[in-house]
Amino acid sequence: MTTTAPRGRLLLVPNTLDLGATDAPRIDAVLPASVLQEAARLAHWVAEDAKTTRAFLKRVNTVVALARPLQAIDIRELPRPPKGMRQAAHDADLAPLLAPALAGADIGLISEAGLPAVADPGAALVAAAHRLGIDVLPLAGPSSLLLALAASGLNGQSFAFVGYLPTDAAERTARVQALQQHSRRERQTQLAIETPYRNGALMAALLAALQPDTQLSVACGLTLPGGWCKTRSVAQWRAQPPVFDNKHLPAVFLWLAH
């Protein structure tokens, strides 16, 4: 009689939100001890960027010693779809990244910031794990979207994450206005993000496209010293726009139309 070896799991390991900022707090001030202990023992990882994952593990090692030398840890990067290839066809090629789990070892999936698979390409790997019958275990940690929503004072009972807005000015304006109408009709908070160095450009676009009485919240550098979240009407923001001093800090933009 043959027995099937137990499979490993895919662990969704949260990252900090600071993107390695020099004034970042100790990692154990942001991530639970249980997460650091799990991260320290894992020998296999899948990440967007191996270099930043090594930096993450070095920070873990200052609190919980890694179970093996950093050089001995297997870190594989999520491949980007070749130009012109449909995302669905590309996702089918992710199964090899899960080979360690099929052989019985746990794998850590990590994002560049926050929770893996939320506003993150790792979602495709999670879907592949489900198709292969690999258990998926999410670990507790910060999500910039939920922290910003909680701090905004806007409607937390109904909200939608709309991701990145179009970069073309006309398309972006049309999209923002459509989202504003939906927000007013459904009383639903809208959440969007942008590449950090474009935070100022997105803020300017929102101030130009949204109605003066729409409530607009901006959360920047959450969990970092000096991080902030402010909610004002669009009219108030127009009178005193925010200044994004650090071009590397992520921000979340939320609005609720009346």
What was the pLDDT predicted at 80?
Answer: 76
pLDDT value, residue 89: 47
Q: Note the pLDDT of residue 166.
A: 94
Write down the residue that tokens 């923001």 correspond to. Answer: 237
CATH number of 144-256: 3.30.950.10
Instruction: Give the per-residue pLDDT at 74.
Output: 97
**DSSP one-letter code for 158:** S
pTM: 0.87
CB 251 within 8 A of CB 220: yes
In the chain, ranges of CATH 3.40.1010.10 domains: 10-138
Nearest to 228 by CA among 159, 144, 167: 144
With a cut of 50, which residues of the chain have pLDDT below it?
A: 84-85, 89
Rounded CA-CA distance 42/101 in Å is 12
Are the C-beta atoms of 2 and 96 separated by less than 8 Å?
no
The confidence score (pLDDT) of residue 23 equals 80
pLDDT at position 133: 94
CB neighbour list of residue 211: distance below 8 Å, 6 or more residues apart: 180, 234, 257
CATH of 10-138, one of 3.90.1150.10, 3.40.1010.10, 3.80.30.20, 3.40.50.1100: 3.40.1010.10
- d(C-alpha 241, C-alpha 57), whole Å: 38
Domain with CATH 3.30.950.10 in the chain: 144-256
